[in-house]
Chain A
Amino acid sequence: MSRTFVEIAGKRLSLSNLEKDLYPSYGFTKAHILEYYRRIAPFILPHLKDRALTLKRYPDGVEKEYFFEKRCPSHRPDWVKTAELRHNEGEKMKVCLINNLEMLIWVENLASLELHVPLARTGSPETPDSMVFDLDPGDGADILDCAKVAFILRDLLSKLKLMSYVKTSGKKGLHVYVPLNRKETTFEDTKKFSKVVAEVMQKNYPDLVTAKMAKEYRKAKVFINWAQNDSKKTMVCVYSLRAREKPIVSCPLEWKELERLAGQGAPEKLQVLHSEAVSRAEKQGDLFRALLVKKQKFPYL
């Protein structure tokens, strides 16, 4: 195994197998992955901060087995920041917190290509700082259908005086976020609210939308997964890479930009590659900044 040593902020990291191609059909090595996360770090780190990371590791690349790891790997340098969470039945568990660049590089060296985080921070695990609508196309539907649903959802939410923000899932869907950032909000609220919204959407657009999880309802429709609004669930973090053939990013888009791209009628236009994600972020800044600061209150709850 080849090793390279680097020093970040006085912490010594041993990086392994940098030449290993983890996206073999595209050609993207671990060194490329580390470089992507280094450049995107200023944008992704505020969104990862103090959230219990779920690692999704692809030690042999995206075409091979992967492992979900909620527990922070035990073989870790002593400077790795962790938090203690209560697992089900009160069992305690240490989780990783990605609060700085060295932590980010460390987990990427473990080939955790995808970074998944809960909607709440470890200090207040029952307080979601946002509400999410995970738009997932069933068989026969695609990301363009998701975009149609996203636009209706945006308009509907704005009638309720709620601003929403959208990112690509990096797979086939879209994620619409509503920033909340109020300590009074509970997952019970976000779940109740998002469920009603999803059901009203389904009722009004029965050929396009379903709010039901079961696969048989999802054919040729967009499933609005409101059940992600749960303290036990995680979402792929904005700016995270996805483990697909190509290194595609879960990337925020301006609504106007989504309209323009969807208007071209080609689903692949809505897949943002690593290089484009970096150049967009460096040019436009963090389009998801509102998720960190904007306070919004639910009406009618």
Chain B
Amino acid sequence: MAGKAIWKGYINFGEVNLPVKLHTAIKEERVQFHLLHRRDHVKLRQQMICAYEKKPVPLEAQVRGFEVEEGKYIIVDPAELEQAEPESSRIIEVHDFVKTEQIDPVFLEHVYYLEPDVNAKGYNALAGALIEMNAAGICTWTMRKRTYLGALQASGNILRLTALRHTDEVISVKSLKLRKIPLSEKELKIGSDLINQLTAPFQPHKFEDEHQKKLRNLIDKKARGEKIAILRPRRLKPTAPDKLLQTLEVSLKKVA
């Protein structure tokens, strides 16, 4: 079941003004560990420690500083930061529409389902139009005192809103400073053939988090006082550059 509604507002563009409710679309569960002190297993807490006194500092004695040069700070009051808060608003304002495939997955942050609120006329029409045109609305909305950039999309008969990262939050590929290595057409051809041979339809249901189960098993085993066998991680021998073509050829023969 979709999570409960966390926000309400209106999708707005052209003549569309559609009341919707936001629901969380993803729920993650994982084994939770605590950090303990080795000698007596006391649960540790993270605290803000004064670098000078080496003692924890209570919340009311903490101030926020912006470092202008090393060791020099401008102290900022929370009240002053409030000026930077967006005015509260209930509008999901669509600025542009783009082809969905133009949005690289690296920008996608968090997905919400949009439920039609009362008197939501045109919900189905909007969802249908977006699907038929393969379009996503680039929009902004304000929630929890923050303005979000988002993509309004449809899947099936449901509208979705995906928060997008700002471009200054994405690290550019250029900054990785990758060297370009020349490849022969033959290597590329065999590589591509191999990939095509190994292609299958995407079936997310095929995959489950086996590790999580195994981890719970290990904890149970340890709780019962059983011995845990230590296994070394498997490491593969890298393919040498001069063996690449040969390895690709053998691989292709194996699958073709």
Contact = CB atoms under 8 A, between A and B. Distances in A.
A and B in direct contact, judged by CB atoms within 8 A: yes
A28 interface: no
B196 to A, nearest CB: 32
A217 interface: no
A66 B231 CA distance: 7
Interface string A59-99: 00001011110000000000000000000000000000000
Nearest to B231: A65
Contacts of B231: 65
Interface residues of A, number: 5
Contacts of B230: 65-68
B226 to A, nearest CB: 13
Contacts of B229: 65-67
B81 to A, nearest CB: 29
A63 B236 CA distance: 12
Contacts of A68: 230
B174 interface: no
Contacts of A65: 229-231
Interface residues of B, number: 5
Interface in B210-256: 227, 229-232
Contacts of A66: 229-230, 232
Contacts of A67: 227, 229-230
Contacts of B227: 67
A67 B227 CA distance: 9
A63 B233 CA distance: 10
Interface string A33-75: 0000000000000000000000000000001011110000000
Contacts of A63: 232
Contacts of B232: 63, 66
Nearest to A67: B229
Nearest to A25: B237
A27 B54 CA distance: 55
A65 B227 CA distance: 12
A67 B229 CA distance: 6
A63 B230 CA distance: 12
A137 B232 CA distance: 18
A65 B230 CA distance: 6
B199 to A, nearest CB: 32
A66 B229 CA distance: 7
A186 to B, nearest CB: 18
Nearest to B229: A65
A67 B226 CA distance: 13
B124 to A, nearest CB: 50
B159 to A, nearest CB: 41
A7 B72 CA distance: 77
A26 B232 CA distance: 17
Interface in B118-142: none
A170 B53 CA distance: 43
B142 to A, nearest CB: 35
A68 B227 CA distance: 10
Nearest to B234: A63
B175 to A, nearest CB: 18
Interface in B143-189: none
A271 to B, nearest CB: 16
B253 to A, nearest CB: 23
Nearest to A64: B231
Nearest to A63: B232
A230 to B, nearest CB: 11
Which 7 pairs from chain A and chain B are nearest by CB? A65-B229, A65-B231, A66-B230, A67-B229, A68-B230, A65-B230, A67-B227
8 contacts: A63-B232, A65-B229, A65-B230, A66-B229, A66-B230, A67-B227, A67-B229, A68-B230
Given A63-B232, A68-B230, 9 more contacts: A65-B229, A65-B230, A65-B231, A66-B229, A66-B230, A66-B232, A67-B227, A67-B229, A67-B230
